[in-house]
Amino acid sequence: MTDEQRYQFDLWGYLHIPGALSEQEVEEAREASQRYVDTPVEDLPPGFGKDGKRHVHGFAFDKALERLALHPSVWPIVKELTKGRPRLSSGTLQVNIPGEHDVAQRLHCAKDDWGWDAVQYAVRDGRVFSDHIVVFPYLTDVNPGDGGLLAVPGSHKSMFERPRSLFNEGLVDDANQLPAGVVNITPKAGDVVIITEALTHGVLAWTPKDRNRLILVLRYHPQYQGNESFPDEIKERLSPETIELISKAGYGDEKEIVREDVVRFS
């Protein structure tokens, strides 16, 4: 991480990296995503499926999407935030279809959902650590008023439980009337947003009638936490470097990919 990124992430609980992906990377990833969206469920390869907006294991559908899990713009950040012990725990393609009914998602965070001890956030020796981070590569534009990601900057460091009366009791459903303290993050195609799950965040309903929203939702934990969650059918599609990324490892183990500043598929 750069000093600027480190400061902003610690200050806000998220990073917005404009232009992280090249135009070609966006085009290839968007084309692959659209193929997933357009494929009937019964015709999908083994291991894939659809659950509303969620297109399960979307990162593994095509190499253009898989490469984003180790993209050079986010890889140094993922390594620092996991203290050099990264593991990709899930990679979903999320799609908002224009014209389809959508609803706002209440403000929440790991502390709200699972308890105050469910997520760690700390700064030690000039480095940031969080044991649950989410990376969102954006494949289509989000404009002000469209909807999309909400955040309460700085909430990741709050020592108090959020009063349920705040922020319209957590339900924010109008991009033009955001409660004080809540921001709507509006990335363009090729931007990447990174958050800690300690950050209070939510989602506005998607309003455009002529444009969709395509994003990957890539979750990372330290390699010694949790269980491997990918079926064999998905693992068989992945490059060796991604297999290492999704694999569990001991607290003191160092993965080969961590030694690389830029990871290239073999």
Residue range 66-92, pLDDT digits in tens: 999 999 999 999 999 999 999 999 999
Q: Reduced to 3 DSSP states, what percent helix, strand and coil does the chain have, rounded to the nearest 5?
A: 30, 25, 50
Three-state DSSP class for 86?
strand
Write down the pLDDT at residue 88.
Answer: 98
What span, in angstroms and rounded, lies between the C-alpha atoms of 85 and 87? 7
Residue range 184-217, pLDDT digits in tens: 999 999 999 999 999 999 999 999 999 999 999 9
What residue spans define the domains of the chain?
3-257
Residue range 230-240, pLDDT digits in tens: 999 999 999 99
pLDDT band per the 50, 70, 90 thresholds, residue 224: very high
Average pLDDT score over residue span 36-53: 95
Strands 54-56 and 121-124: unpaired
User: What single-letter amino acid sits at 120?
Assistant: Q
Class of domain 3-257: mainly beta
Higher-scoring residue by pLDDT: 247, 115: 247
Write down the pLDDT at residue 105.
Answer: 87
In the chain, % of residues over pLDDT 90: 83
Strands 192-196 and 86-96: unpaired
